[in-house]
Amino acid sequence: MIDSNVVNSVLGRTDGTISGYKEYAAVLRSALAGSGLTAITYTQWDPPGQTTTRSDLPDVVGIVHNGLATKDGSSMQISNVSFTGVAAANQIANHAVAYGTRQSSMTFDFEPFTVYDDVVVSMQLRVDGASSNLSFDKDFVNQTLGVTNGKVETSDQMATLMAAVIGRPDVIVEATNPGTVTLKTDPLVDRKAGEKSGIGIYGINVNIEPVPTMNFVDVDVVQNPEMIDGYIGYIETAMGRVVAGAAALGSLQSRIEMQSNFAKTMMDTIEKGVGRLVDTDMEEASARLAAIQTQQQLAIQGLQIANSQPQAILSLFP
């Protein structure tokens, strides 16, 4: 029940007048106290298209249900509304049952990208207020998509990748069109609605970022003293990239040296083994050759004897 006494008590007046939407919300909040419902006003981005400044959205008042602690998918209804002494233009109508709007859905834009060696993409997933840390790298992309180049070229591939990264049966990932991918909780599993529900990806980070946006030749403290902070940030970022690159090169150099030493050791071992095999084969061949030469010499000597003394040979046969 809202009458002039309630209005005067909430607003500190004596004439029962509600002069604006914020006062109207205040009166409704007082009337709804203890019911699980409350009245709110809204804000909007002003100007539209940016995310830093908000302003009040005038003449809009909402009645919301924060949900019951032990219930999911709870609902609210306004009925049996009647007015006495209030102009028709200022009245509100009955409303049918309204379930809390599910906020457990988000859509993000997709563009093809490549995950290179030693790059790790990390992020945070929040579902109904609970958070979990996720990440993927080139090997994960290749294994999940069956590729070898770390490329994610279509929204369908992105949906497959995100589903594998998230790894939750209650989160549905769909490629809604070639340029967008949608994440949402399964309504058959997650029955939460209204302010109790929600899904989002936050804190996306790539371990090689931020990428420097300047050049050393652009640094001029004398001409641009107001940009000292920007110059310092750029130099720190560039130094970080150089250190990371040097570490990667050092690691690669160590790997190359190890592989080179391994190859050299293997070649030495192979050469020794081949030498031993050759020596063994030569000794055997030399022995065979010497035996054949001896047999040949004996045969020649036998022929010489036979030719010089044929009668002596014939006497051996009866």
Share of the chain above pLDDT 90, in %: 32
- pLDDT score for 9: 94
Shared-domain flag, residues 92 and 173: no
The structure's pTM equals 0.48
pLDDT 10s digits, 5-19: 999 999 999 999 999
Going by pLDDT thresholds of 50, 70 and 90, the confidence category of residue 248 is confident
Mean pLDDT to the nearest integer, 256-264? 82
Residues 131 and 191 in one domain: yes
Query: Are residues 153 and 135 both part of a single domain?
Result: yes
Q: Is 90 exceeded by the pLDDT of residue 260?
A: no
Domain that includes residue 38, residue range: 4-99
> For residues 260-271, b (16+ Cβ closer than 10 Å) or e, as one string?
eeeeeeeeeeee
Tell which wins on pLDDT, 233 or 160. Answer: 160
User: 260 in helix, strand or coil?
Assistant: helix
Instruction: Give the separation between CA 4 and CA 8, rounded to whole angstroms.
Output: 6
Give domain status of residue 315, yes or no: no
**What pLDDT is attached to residue 67?**
62
Q: Report, as an integer, the average pLDDT of 108-134.
A: 91
Whole-number Å distance between alpha carbons of 296 and 286: 15
Query: Has residue 219 got a pLDDT over 80?
Result: no
Residue 223 and residue 204 share a domain: no
Same domain flag for 74 and 9: yes
Residue 299 lies in a domain: no
Side-chain half-sphere CA neighbours of 226 within 13 A:
0
Which of the listed residues 99, 117, 150 is the one where a domain comes to its end?
A: 99
Alpha helices in 65-180 (DSSP H): 138-145, 155-166
Domain end call among 274, 295, 311? 274
> Within 10 A of 32 (CB to CB), how many other CB atoms are there?
16
Domain count along the chain: 3
DSSP structural state of residue 148: S
Average pLDDT over residues 130-135: 92
Pair 93, 125 in one domain = no
pLDDT at 100: 66
Same domain (yes/no): 11, 78: yes
What does the pLDDT look like over 152-210, one tens digit per residue?
999 999 999 999 999 999 999 999 999 999 999 998 888 887 767 889 898 888 887 66
Check: CB of residue 55 under 8 Å from CB of residue 46: yes
Tell me the torsion sign for CA atoms 99, 100, 101, 106. Answer: negative
pLDDT at 308 over 90: no
- Is there a single domain that holds both residue 136 and residue 200? yes
Residue 44, pLDDT above cutoff 80 = yes
Q: What is the mean pLDDT of the chain?
A: 82
Whether residue 283 is contained in a domain is answered as: no
- Rounded Cα distance, 279 and 277, in Å: 5
pLDDT band of residue 29 (cuts 50, 70, 90) is: very high
